[in-house]
Structures are given as structure tokens and as C-alpha cells.
Structure 1
Amino acid sequence: MNDTPGWASPGSAPSDGQEPGKSGPDRPADRPGSEQPADRPGQPQGHGSKWSKEQPPPAQWSAPTGAPAPGQAPPPPPPGPGWGNRPPAAGGYGGHGSWGGGWGGPPPAAKPGVIPLRPLGVGEILDGAVSTMRAYWRTVLGIALTVAVLTEVVVVLLQGFFLNDTFDTINDPNVTFDELMRAMGDTMISYGVLSLISLIGTVIATALLTTVTSRAVLGRPVTTGEAWRDARPQVGKLFGLIFLLLLIAFGIVAVGVLPGILVTVAGGGGAGAALTVLGGLGAVVVSLWLMIRFSLASPALMLEKQGIVKSMSRSVKLVRGSWWRVFGIQLLAMVIASIVASIIAIPFAFLADAFSGDSVSGLLDGTGGSLSWTFLIISGIGSVIGSMITFPISAGVTVLLYIDQRIRREALDLELARAAGVQGYGTDTPGS
């Protein structure tokens, strides 16, 4: 850089005893308030006579380097990139050599595992769930496959031994009214049992995959046995949480439709039916609003080792102010999981129909409905494969969404970085 009067490179001031004429900026011989001798020590004879007699008035020249005179502001720093000190590394940012030649913005956050340690976008949450499944596929797919197989075996057995009989009774043209009502009641009970079994499988898979995903964020491997040992103390509470949430949802719906039912029974007719529909819609909206507010209770219960009520209050706190974002991300994850499951299950359903006869068409047109064991087994294989893929996606998105909300509200990224052993992360952050 060219040295100009009034500017100097940092640290380039001449040392004591440096001779004039050497490297460094030229300076005038006179100083404010001092006289100009004809010949100064260390200068050739006649040197002083070479300076013009028309010098600037006193107190308007200052040395390019050194301390400023009293009452004068120091010269501004030299322009251009690369000057000045870089900010210290804090919170995963900074560090020597990470900024390039200028101020181009902070470098990427630390990423010890499947997600960067900063607030996440929607794509990063979905990618983190898929990356967990890819990086820990043995553990993740092993857990999902085991739970899906056990669940589907029970479902197939119930369908084969109980639902087929009720279907035959319902489709019998000579069935009496009492037999029809009894068969419909048995069908509802059977479907309730199937839903409960599926829910149990989902809860167990979620409990185990929550542990795996939390380790994946730190970049640490985990085996199925380790995941089970870590999740086992909280599994009972997780069942209690799911049961309580279902009870709340059904209770709200029952309260919403009860006035319309009472009006209908009292002879209200159309008014009662309209009130039932409106009450049901309102109850569904309220239930959805509450379920989203409680949607992060499961990872809070598993990872914070909280009780049922405390985990629900933690979820409400984390979702507050972000209801639409949480709802949108979970809805998107559910749609993706449903599409993936359908893509896998539909070919198996047609394959099962081809090998077992017209089971599907007979069920649809009312001429049959008795599902053969071949159909149930082949379609069950498709359901197992679909569940093996959708379980990790659903559980991973919920856990990563919980972690993202805690990073945004509680600076959890600092704790995660320290747990992952990231050096110097957040050391300069106040209060870290």
C-alpha cells in the first residue's frame, strides 16, 4: 500500500533512532511551536535551507505516526479489505481464515451430526430426518422393521379370524336386524383394537427412534440395545401421555356434538342435525388446535425425562407463537409419509388381489368382502415395508422440530455443541 501523509500501516511507525531517508513516510522537519534550525544534528550541511520559508501555520501539521497531539482526533484507519481485527470465534462463527479477504458474512454453523446447530428451515428438518435414517440405517430400520412386523402380525391375525366373519354376516342378504347390528358392533370393536395395536407400535417406535435421532444430532452412534435402555424408563409415561391426549380429543368432540344429539332426540329434527354438524366441526377445530400445542410433548417427555403433565406444559411453551409453523411442518411430514406408504402399499394390494382373487373388488361392490389369507399376508408385507420407512420420518421430524424450537427459544445449540465436543463454540457469548 502506498504511504501517504497522515496514513500509515498499523505497526509501521519508525523505531527510535531510525534515520531519515530510510523506509517510512517523509515528514517535515518543523514541528508545531518549534523553530527550524539551519543545520540539524544528523543532517548534511545546508539541509535546512532547502525547505521553503512559506510553511503552514503552526498546529496544522501532525506526525503521520505516533500519538496524536492533545486535542486532536487520531487518524482514521486505512481503507480496504483485510484491515482491523477479526471478531473472535463465538457461537460457531469466526476463526482465523474463515472470512476470506473481506466481510462476506459468517461461515456455516457447526454441524457435528445430521443438522447444523442453528435455527432450522423446513427443508433442513426433513433432510435431517432422512439423513438420520441413512446414517444409522441398521439401527433405525432394525427398530422400525421389528415394530412394524410385530404390529402387522397381530393386525393380520385379527382381520383373518374376526373381521372376515363380520364381513360375511354384513353381506348376507338374509341377515336379521339384530344380527346386523351385532356384526357392525363387532366390526367397530375390531377396528378399535386394530387402531390401538397400531398406536402401541407407533408409540414404541417413536420412543426408540427419539433416542436415535437425539444421538444423531450429536453425531454419536447408538445401537438398538442402547436406545431401548435409554427409552425404557419413559415408555410407560409415553403410553399415558398418548392415552391422555386421545381422551382429551374424544372428550372435546363428544362435548361438541352432544347438544345437537340432545336436540335431535328431543324432536328437533333438522335443527338438531345442523347443530350436531356445527358442533362437530367446532370440536374438530378445537381438538386440532390443542393437539398441535401438545405435539412436542412426546420428545419433551423422552429427552427431558419429564412427567406427563410437565411434558405437556413444555410443549405448550415451545409451540406458543409458532403454532402455524409447527402445524405446517407436521402436516407436510404426514403428507410425505402417507404418499410414501401409499406408493409402497398400493402395488402390494394389487399383487395380493391378483394372487388371491377378487378380494378388493368384492369388498367394494358388496358381492364379497371375505379377505383370504393370501391377500392379508401379501398386503401386510407391503404395510410392513411402508411402516419401516414412514416410522423414522415421522418420529425424526417431531424430534428435530422440538430441537429447533428449543434452539430458537432457549439457545439449545450451545448445550448441543458442548455435548458434541465442538471446541470454542459459544465461549465468547455473554452468559454462556
Structure 2
Amino acid sequence: MSDHDWQAPGGAPAPGPAPDAARSARFDPSAFPPPSVEASPSALPAPAAPTSPMYGQVPYGSPLGWTPPPKPGLLPLHPLGFGTVLWAPFKVLRRNPAATFGTGLVVQLVSVVAMLAVFIPFMVFVVSRVESATDSADADALMSGAIGGFLLLMLVPIALSLIAGAFLQGVMVVEVASGTLGERLRFAALWKRAAKRFWPLLGWTAMVTGAIVVAFAFFIAIIVVATFFDPVTVIVTILVMILAGLGAAVVAAWLGTKLSLVPSVIVLEGVGIGTAMKRSWRLTDGFFWRTFGTLLLVGFILNLAAQVVVQPVSLIGTIVAAIIDPTGTGAAIAITVVTMIVTVILSLLIGAITAVVQAALVAVIYIDLRMRTEALDLELVRHIEQRDAGLPVTDPYAAPSTATAPASTAAGPAWP
């Protein structure tokens, strides 16, 4: 019995549609019209063109098309690990040895030649005057004057060393910055770029040296004044000065670490000494121990390497001379002279390497801290991609307040 055959007891059958008609109405094909397949292509919505380039692409519609990925530079373009920061300065020497080591060697030669040129004639003059003195009183007066003249002449090589050291800092900062962008500059190009910021660098180096000289002079003056009193006062003064010296060393290490990035800021951001000091102070906030530990560890490695290389040569020369001439008759004078010459040459080479690595380390730390605090790595990636695509670029190392200036307002890229 179907549902339509049922009726209430005593009632008439309920009217209803026939089964076929109801099924046809339930599945009416007209309720589901087929999709149209003759729609015009022009009626379909066109895909929207991208309004800005995606990361790692040239702008939409650029005729340049695909560009190869940038070649790896001196530093990876992301915040650096401790090992990378530690060994990157040594990589500077291996990557561009002619320009970097050559500059360091020139600086060392300038210092040595200046010292020899000043002191050798002076010593010859003093010795000839002492030998021609008629009595011991004149000789003593000449020796006293010679000590004063020696101290005054020390200012000449110190001044030249300051000038050469400031210039070396600028050269190494430019080398690290350009090497990170994948560039390899020659000797003359490095010197030309570093010379643009030479005077602020020299001013900063003179300030640091002056502060050190004043501090030493203050301690020495107090000790000299104390010698005019009784021995107990002298001993107490010396003990107090030792403790004060330890405290001053701690303060100097703290200030030196906080202001260690000043040369890099002066060269790469093109600011004055005062602004560079503030920038260095802010960049090292939260990274003091990392910066201090890196500077200390690299300095220890360089000092240890210098001792390992130079001291054995000097020791071997002394032993050989003692074996050949145990009584000191002068038979081993040639060996002594050769040992001294070899020691001086090794000291020059090690000094050049040390100066280059220490100056480059400061620049590496500066770039790493800007990557961590100011996303400099993204700016460097963008700069490299736009440069390789032939697009206009701005200075990627500019300070954050000026780094976003539009390229059309500048006469040309600040970092060629």
C-alpha cells in the first residue's frame, strides 16, 4: 500500500497528484538551467597588475626582466653570529689583501720611518756633544737637555702615527662596507673614499689620544708631588693611585666599548663627532658585553699571535749569539744585527695585520648591530637588487632619518 492509498476510517480518499506528476514536479529540469558556455572572453574580469614589486623581484612591467641573485659579499646579509663577527676581520685580509694589508703596511712604515728620521740625527748630535764636553758638569747638563729634547721629539712620531691610524680606520671601514655589498675596490679607490671623512676621523683620534695623555699626566703629577713628602705618604699615594688606576681602567673599558663605533658612524653616515658619539652609544645599548667580549678576544688573539711569531726568532738569535761568542768579544755581532733586522721586519708585518684586523672588526660590529636594531640587512638586500637591476639607488648606510629619502631628490647615489 502506498502513502496515497491510505485514508482515514470512514472518510473519503484524500485528493493528491498522481505519482508520476509529483515525481516530475519534484525533479523539474527547468529549475536547474545549464551554464552558458558561450560567454565572451571580454566579459571575464582581467587580472589586476601588481602595484609594487614583490620581495626579490624587479618592478612589474620592467624591461629588464629577471636578474640573477646577488653574489655573496664579505658578510652575510642577516644578523651575524658570534663566530662570523670574530673571523670576518681576518676574511677582510684574505678577500682584498693588496689594498688592506698594503694600507696597514704603509701606516706601519710611516710610523717607523718618522721615528728613525727624528731620533737618529738627534742621538748622533747628543753623542757628539757629550764626547766633546770638557768636564763632567757639561756632560751632565747635555744629558739633561737631551732627555727633554727626546720627550719633545716624541711628539713628532706620535702625531704622524695618529694621522696614519685615523686614515687606516677610514680605509678599513670603507673596505668592510663595500665588501658587504659585493664590491672589491682597489688601493686608490679605497684611499679616495676614505679621504672624504679624514678630518673628522683625525679629530676623533686626537680627542681619544688627548684624553689618555691627560689621564696619565694626572696620575704621574700626583705621584711626583707626593715624592716631596715623607716616605709613608709616597707609599700611601702609590697604593691609592694603583687602586684609582684600576677604577680608571674599568671606566675606560666601558667608555671605549660604548664609543667604539664612532669611526664607522663618521665614515658611513657622514655625521660629525658629537652625533657619531650619540649614535655609537645608542647602537651598543643591550649589546655591551657582546661588543666588549669580541673586541677583547680578537685583541688577545692578535697579541698572542704576535708573541708566538716574534719572540722565538729573538730567542733563537740570542741563544745562537751566546753559543758563538760566550765571552762577549764581539764575534757574534753579525748574528745580533741580523736577528734585530728580522725581528723588526716581523714586527712591521704583524703590526700591519693587527692594525687592519682591529680596524675592520669595529666596522663589522657596526654593521651587525645596525642589522639587529635597524634592519640594515633589508636595506642592503634592496640596494643590491636595485643596483644589479640598473635601477636608481640611494646610500644604504645612511642614518635611519635620511635613509628613506626618495632617490629622485638626490643628485646621485651617495654610495657609488
TM range, smaller chain: 0.5 to 0.7
- Please give the per-residue CA displacement for 1:95-137, whole angstroms capped at 9, x wherever unaligned: xxxxxxxxxxxxxxx9831221222122101322222221212
Residue 322 of structure 1: how far off its partner (Å):
2.0
When normalised by structure 1's length, the TM-score is 0.60
Counterparts of 1:117 and 1:279, CA distance in 2? 44
Counterparts of 2:226 and 2:348, CA distance in 1? 45
Residue 298 of structure 1: how far off its partner (Å):
0.8
Letter paired with 1:202 = G
RMSD over equivalenced CA pairs, Å: 4.3
Aligned to 1:278, what secondary structure does the other structure show? helix
Counterparts of 2:364 and 2:219, CA distance in 1? 34
Determine if the alignment matches structure 1 residue 211 to structure 2 residue 174: yes
| Paired-residue identity, % | 26
User: Unmatched 5+ residue regions in structure 1?
Assistant: 1-36, 42-88, 93-109, 362-371, 425-431
- Among 250, 258, 271, the alignment partner of 1:285 is 250
Aligned to 2:295: 330
Counterparts of 2:208 and 2:111, CA distance in 1? 22
1:164-179 matches, within 5 Å, as none
Counterparts of 1:184 and 1:242, CA distance in 2? 27
1:8-407 matches, within 5 Å, as 112-158=72-118, 160-162=120-122, 181-189=144-152, 193-254=156-217, 265=228, 268-347=233-312, 349=314, 377-407=341-371
- Please give the per-residue CA displacement for 1:233-264, whole angstroms capped at 9, x wherever unaligned: 21122111011112223334555676676666
Letter paired with 2:361 = V
Counterparts of 1:256 and 1:278, CA distance in 2? 11
Residue 381 of structure 1: how far off its partner (Å):
1.6
Letter paired with 1:250 = V
Aligned to 1:328, what secondary structure does the other structure show? helix
Letter paired with 2:368 = D
Letter paired with 2:358 = S
Given that 2:173 and 2:363 are in contact with CA atoms closer than 8 Å, whether structure 1 keeps it comes out as yes
Letter paired with 2:276 = S
Letter paired with 1:120 = L
- Please give the per-residue CA displacement for 1:342-366, whole angstroms capped at 9, x wherever unaligned: 33333554577689x78xx9xxxxx
Letter paired with 2:266 = L
Given that 2:126 and 2:142 are in contact with CA atoms closer than 8 Å, whether structure 1 keeps it comes out as no
Letter paired with 1:225 = A
Structure number with the higher helix fraction is 2
Counterparts of 1:140 and 1:352, CA distance in 2? 31
Counterparts of 1:141 and 1:321, CA distance in 2? 33
Residue 404 of structure 1: how far off its partner (Å):
0.9
Given that 1:257 and 1:276 are in contact with CA atoms closer than 8 Å, whether structure 2 keeps it comes out as no
- Among 404, 408, 417, the alignment partner of 2:372 is 408
Residue 288 of structure 1: how far off its partner (Å):
2.5
Aligned to 1:118, what secondary structure does the other structure show? coil
Residue 148 of structure 1: how far off its partner (Å):
2.7
Counterparts of 1:411 and 1:341, CA distance in 2? 37
Aligned to 1:421, what secondary structure does the other structure show? helix
- Please give the per-residue CA displacement for 1:28-57, whole angstroms capped at 9, x wherever unaligned: xxxxxxxxx99998xxxxxxxxxxxxxxxx
Counterparts of 1:111 and 1:329, CA distance in 2? 27
Alignment length, in residue pairs?
A: 316
Letter paired with 1:113 = G
Question: Which region of structure 1 is more displaced relative to structure 2, 143-152 or 191-200?
Answer: 191-200
Given that 1:166 and 1:186 are in contact with CA atoms closer than 8 Å, whether structure 2 keeps it comes out as no
Letter paired with 2:363 = V
* Cα pair distance change 1:259/1:387, threshold 3 Å: closer
* Cα pair distance change 1:259/1:198, threshold 3 Å: closer
* Cα pair distance change 1:295/1:111, threshold 3 Å: farther
Counterparts of 1:266 and 1:354, CA distance in 2? 46
- Please give the per-residue CA displacement for 1:129-175, whole angstroms capped at 9, x wherever unaligned: 22222121222222223333333333344454446888999xxxx89
Question: Which region of structure 1 is more displaced relative to structure 2, 230-239 or 257-266?
Answer: 257-266
Given that 1:113 and 1:219 are in contact with CA atoms closer than 8 Å, whether structure 2 keeps it comes out as yes
Letter paired with 2:269 = E
Residue 197 of structure 1: how far off its partner (Å):
3.7
Aligned to 2:196, what secondary structure does the other structure show? helix
Letter paired with 1:415 = E
Counterparts of 2:313 and 2:145, CA distance in 1? 32
User: Unmatched 5+ residue regions in structure 2?
Assistant: 1-21, 28-53, 58-69, 131-135, 326-335, 390-403, 405-416
Residue 277 of structure 1: how far off its partner (Å):
2.6
Given that 1:341 and 1:386 are in contact with CA atoms closer than 8 Å, whether structure 2 keeps it comes out as yes
